[in-house]
Amino acid sequence: MKGNGFAEPGAYLLSGNEAVVEGAIMAGCRFYAGYPITPSTGVVERMSRRMPEVGGSYFQTEDEMASMAALMGASWGGAKTMTATSGLGFSLMQEHIGFAIICETPLVIVDVQRCGPASGVVAEPMQGDVMQANWGHNGSIGLIALAPASVQDCFDLTIESFNLAEKYRTPVILLSDSRLANLREKVTIPPIDSVETTSRKVAQKGEKNFFLAADGVAPMPLLGDGHRVIVACSSHDEHGSIKMNAQNHRMLVDRLTDKLARASRESTKIETGFMDDADVAVLSYGISARGVESAVKRARDEGLKVGYVRLISIWPFNEAEVKSALGGAKDVIVVELNKGQIVNEVKRALGGEKQTHLVYDIGQLVPPDVIYDKIRQVIR
């Protein structure tokens, strides 16, 4: 570790939770407020040590609502901020997620998913918060969510989460899980100068008409910079004045959703393999994608025309790019650790053009054999 607290570039053996912390630091995170909840505690513990080492602040709060409120305050003070939690705590954060969305506050939430609902099973994985991530706040505007599938992903996608949060002034959710949290894998940490980071546009004193910015993202008038701004959870117009009428609110909702649509067009990440001539596609994301590649390779070795699609960007769900990634496949097998959340989005996007199938498990990973068997069954 360097004198300024940054990790020396090189290869490390880290857990998913540890990689998230190092990614956040690399991205410029200097404020962490959190509440311990299994299986995210590795993040909170490492952050408590690392934040002071890099000149940042660690603030342990009395509950998840306080964590989120503190993140909001710190972000509006100018800091890049993060918290980590699991399903239950994530539910407590929803009101503030809505607040962050309506007043366009950059922040990152790492949801280390576990079996739910409620306390469920503390240490086993479930991809149960996919829908909650996008639709859990009242008003259902949406946000950006990414799903890491490896510990290296935990590092890289945390940096990406911060960059997207800053660029589009939105909360970003990193959908991790309990397996990835404690899995140890090799992570390559690059030299800090080689990492591209984005910071929000900050409004200059005297700047007006924020919301008419050409790229759809208003410069942020930080608190304490003399703007005399009202940062509110209420609806507002293009001058930042509080407005409580239908017409104005509709314009606000349109502007926020347009911004997300643009973010989706500009930043969606999907990884594909063997899709050029695939008749069957296996689509997955996050931890459940771990079993897919080897199942597909096994099927390919036997001459079957199968390919895989791994979603890295989960929300906004980019129908056009997902369809395009699925190419000419006639069947889509969706693998996820829940009773079907992304599969419904895929179905909707395909509009009946292909057959969709769900392979799932709860609390444990779907092994490659099970996926391979399904491929054989579908491909006939």
Window 320 to 379, contacts with another protein (CB under 8 A): none
The reply on whether position 52 binds another protein by CB under 8 A is no
The answer to whether the CB of 268 falls within 8 A of the CB of 321 is yes
The answer to whether the CB of 287 falls within 8 A of the CB of 179 is yes
- Cβ at position 296, least distance to another protein in Å: 45
Give the C-alpha separation, 179 to 181, whole Å. Answer: 5
**Angle, vertex CA 249, rays to CA 246 and CA 251, nearest 5:** 110
Q: In what order do the strands lie in the sheet with 331-336?
A: 270-273, 306-311, 280-285, 331-336, 355-360
- Cβ at position 229, least distance to another protein in Å: 6
CB-hemisphere CA count at 13 Å for 81?
28
Q: Both tokens of residue 218?
A: 């208003």
- Cβ at position 329, least distance to another protein in Å: 45
The reply on whether position 225 binds another protein by CB under 8 A is yes
- Cβ at position 37, least distance to another protein in Å: 16
With CB under 8 A as the contact rule, the residue among 5, 9, 36, 78 that binds another protein is: 78
The reply on whether position 226 binds another protein by CB under 8 A is yes
Handedness of CA 252, 254, 256, 262 (dihedral sign): negative
Give the C-alpha separation, 19 to 187, whole Å. Answer: 8
With CB under 8 A as the contact rule, the residue among 5, 48, 69, 216 that binds another protein is: 69
* Residue nearer to another protein on the CB measure, 240 or 307: 240
The answer to whether the CB of 174 falls within 8 A of the CB of 42 is no
With CB under 8 A as the contact rule, the residue among 30, 46, 114, 354 that binds another protein is: 30
* Residue nearer to another protein on the CB measure, 228 or 380: 228
The reply on whether position 35 binds another protein by CB under 8 A is no
Q: Binding residues for another protein, how many (CB under 8 A)?
A: 40
With CB under 8 A as the contact rule, the residue among 44, 71, 93, 175 that binds another protein is: 71
* Residue nearer to another protein on the CB measure, 57 or 182: 57
The reply on whether position 72 binds another protein by CB under 8 A is yes
The reply on whether position 210 binds another protein by CB under 8 A is no
Mask for 79-108, x = binds another protein (CB under 8 A): x-x-------------xx--x---------
- CB environment 214-237: b (16+ within 10 A), e (fewer): eebbbebbbeeeebebebeeebbe
Give the C-alpha separation, 149 to 286, whole Å. Answer: 4
| Distances 347 to 276, 291, 357 between C-alpha atoms, Å | 21, 22, 9
- Cβ at position 220, least distance to another protein in Å: 13
- Cβ at position 223, least distance to another protein in Å: 5
**Angle, vertex CA 182, rays to CA 339 and CA 176, nearest 5:** 45
Per-position DSSP letters for 105-131, written without gaps between them:
--EEEEEEE-B-STT-BTTS---TTHH
The reply on whether position 275 binds another protein by CB under 8 A is no
With CB under 8 A as the contact rule, the residue among 63, 254, 302, 353 that binds another protein is: 63
Give the C-alpha separation, 309 to 332, whole Å. Answer: 10
The window from 68-76, 160-168, 177-185, 316-324 that contacts another protein (CB under 8 A) reads 68-76
The reply on whether position 202 binds another protein by CB under 8 A is no
- Cβ at position 147, least distance to another protein in Å: 27
The window from 225-233, 243-251, 270-278, 346-354 that contacts another protein (CB under 8 A) reads 225-233
The reply on whether position 73 binds another protein by CB under 8 A is yes
With CB under 8 A as the contact rule, the residue among 213, 230, 250, 348 that binds another protein is: 230
Give the C-alpha separation, 297 to 300, whole Å. Answer: 5
* Residue nearer to another protein on the CB measure, 28 or 286: 28
CA-based R_g, the chain, Å? 21
The reply on whether position 61 binds another protein by CB under 8 A is yes
* Strands 10-15 and 184-189, sheet pairing: antiparallel
Interacting residues toward another protein by CB under 8 A: 30-31, 33, 57, 59, 61-63, 65-79, 81, 95-96, 99, 223-234, 242
